[in-house]
Amino acid sequence: MKIAVMTFRLHAPWVHSLKEKRMIVQSLIAKLQNRYHVSVAEIGEQDIHQIILIGVAAIVPHNAMADSLMDEISLFVEENTEAEILDEEREIR
Protein backbone atom coordinates (compact mmCIF):
# COMPACT_ATOMS: atom_id res chain seq x y z
CA MET A 1 0.00 0.00 0.00
CA LYS A 2 1.32 3.47 -0.96
CA ILE A 3 0.19 7.02 -0.31
CA ALA A 4 0.27 9.45 -3.23
CA VAL A 5 0.60 13.07 -2.10
CA MET A 6 0.44 16.15 -4.32
CA THR A 7 0.47 19.88 -3.69
CA PHE A 8 -0.55 22.54 -6.15
CA ARG A 9 0.26 26.25 -5.92
CA LEU A 10 -2.05 28.18 -8.23
CA HIS A 11 -2.19 31.87 -9.15
CA ALA A 12 -5.55 33.50 -9.92
CA PRO A 13 -4.78 37.14 -10.81
CA TRP A 14 -8.44 38.12 -11.34
CA VAL A 15 -9.43 37.29 -7.74
CA HIS A 16 -9.91 40.39 -5.59
CA SER A 17 -11.54 39.00 -2.45
CA LEU A 18 -11.36 35.98 -0.18
CA LYS A 19 -14.98 35.23 -1.07
CA GLU A 20 -14.08 34.88 -4.77
CA LYS A 21 -11.11 32.71 -3.86
CA ARG A 22 -13.22 30.49 -1.61
CA MET A 23 -15.68 29.85 -4.46
CA ILE A 24 -12.86 28.76 -6.78
CA VAL A 25 -11.21 26.56 -4.14
CA GLN A 26 -14.43 24.88 -3.05
CA SER A 27 -15.40 24.15 -6.64
CA LEU A 28 -12.02 22.60 -7.48
CA ILE A 29 -11.97 20.55 -4.26
CA ALA A 30 -15.48 19.19 -4.88
CA LYS A 31 -14.65 18.26 -8.49
CA LEU A 32 -11.48 16.41 -7.45
CA GLN A 33 -13.22 14.54 -4.62
CA ASN A 34 -16.16 13.52 -6.79
CA ARG A 35 -14.08 12.39 -9.75
CA TYR A 36 -11.12 10.68 -8.05
CA HIS A 37 -12.33 9.88 -4.50
CA VAL A 38 -9.23 11.48 -2.98
CA SER A 39 -8.70 13.64 0.09
CA VAL A 40 -8.31 17.30 -0.88
CA ALA A 41 -7.91 20.43 1.22
CA GLU A 42 -6.65 23.99 1.04
CA ILE A 43 -3.43 23.67 3.04
CA GLY A 44 -2.07 27.19 3.19
CA GLU A 45 -2.12 30.77 1.94
CA GLN A 46 -5.74 31.17 3.11
CA ASP A 47 -5.33 34.92 3.66
CA ILE A 48 -3.77 35.72 0.27
CA HIS A 49 -6.42 36.48 -2.36
CA GLN A 50 -4.63 35.39 -5.52
CA ILE A 51 -2.61 32.36 -4.36
CA ILE A 52 -4.27 28.97 -3.90
CA LEU A 53 -2.42 26.11 -2.18
CA ILE A 54 -4.17 22.73 -2.39
CA GLY A 55 -3.07 19.33 -1.09
CA VAL A 56 -4.29 16.01 -2.51
CA ALA A 57 -3.75 12.56 -0.97
CA ALA A 58 -4.81 9.07 -2.02
CA ILE A 59 -4.10 5.51 -0.93
CA VAL A 60 -3.08 3.28 -3.84
CA PRO A 61 -1.90 -0.33 -4.10
CA HIS A 62 1.42 0.30 -5.90
CA ASN A 63 3.73 2.94 -7.39
CA ALA A 64 2.51 2.54 -10.96
CA MET A 65 -1.05 3.32 -9.96
CA ALA A 66 0.17 6.30 -7.89
CA ASP A 67 2.02 7.73 -10.90
CA SER A 68 -0.98 7.22 -13.16
CA LEU A 69 -3.39 8.81 -10.70
CA MET A 70 -1.12 11.81 -10.12
CA ASP A 71 -0.78 12.34 -13.88
CA GLU A 72 -4.57 12.29 -14.27
CA ILE A 73 -5.10 14.68 -11.36
CA SER A 74 -2.49 17.09 -12.67
CA LEU A 75 -4.15 17.19 -16.09
CA PHE A 76 -7.58 17.55 -14.47
CA VAL A 77 -6.47 20.54 -12.38
CA GLU A 78 -4.94 22.17 -15.44
CA GLU A 79 -8.12 21.71 -17.48
CA ASN A 80 -10.66 22.61 -14.78
CA THR A 81 -9.41 25.92 -13.47
CA GLU A 82 -8.46 29.17 -15.10
CA ALA A 83 -5.76 29.68 -12.48
CA GLU A 84 -2.14 29.26 -13.55
CA ILE A 85 -0.25 26.37 -11.95
CA LEU A 86 2.86 27.93 -10.40
CA ASP A 87 4.18 24.78 -8.74
CA GLU A 88 3.28 21.12 -8.42
CA GLU A 89 4.95 18.70 -6.02
CA ARG A 90 4.51 14.92 -5.99
CA GLU A 91 5.50 12.32 -3.45
CA ILE A 92 4.86 8.62 -2.99
CA ARG A 93 5.21 7.35 0.56
Give SS3 for 83: coil
pLDDT, mean of residues 5-24: 92
Structural domains in the chain?
A: 2-92 (3.30.70.1120)
Q: Would you state the pLDDT for residue 47?
A: 85
Q: Would you state the pLDDT for residue 57?
A: 96
Q: pTM to 2 decimals?
A: 0.86
Neighbours of 68 (CB within 10 A): 12
Give the C-alpha separation, 44 to 26, whole Å: 14
pLDDT, mean of residues 62-79: 93
What residues pair up with 88 in beta bridges, in sequence order? 8
Give the C-alpha separation, 17 to 5, whole Å: 29
Give the C-alpha separation, 9 to 4, whole Å: 17
Q: Would you state the pLDDT for residue 67?
A: 92
pLDDT tens, position by position, 20-65: 999 999 999 999 999 999 999 999 888 888 999 999 999 999 999 9
